[in-house]
Amino acid sequence: MRKLIALVAIALSAVMFSTSSQAFGSSSGKFFDANTKQWVKYGHARSGKSPIQRKMISYNGKYSPGTIVISTAERRLYHIRPGGKAMVYGIGVGREGFQWSGTHRITRKAEWPGWTPPAVMRAREARKGNILPAYMEGGPNNPLGARALYIGSTIYRIHGSNEPWTIGSAVSSGCIRLANEDVIHLYQNVPVGARVVVLR
The residues that are catalytic are 159, 175
- Give the Cα separation of 147 and 157 in Å (integer): 10
Burial class, 81, CB count within 10 angstroms (exposed 0-12 / middle 13-18 / buried 19+): middle
Burial class, 170, CB count within 10 angstroms (exposed 0-12 / middle 13-18 / buried 19+): middle
* 153: amino acid identity, one letter: S
Estimate to the nearest angstrom the gap between the alpha carbon of 5 and the chain centroid.
48
* Backbone φ/ψ region at 194: left (φ over 0), alpha (ψ -120 to 50), beta: beta
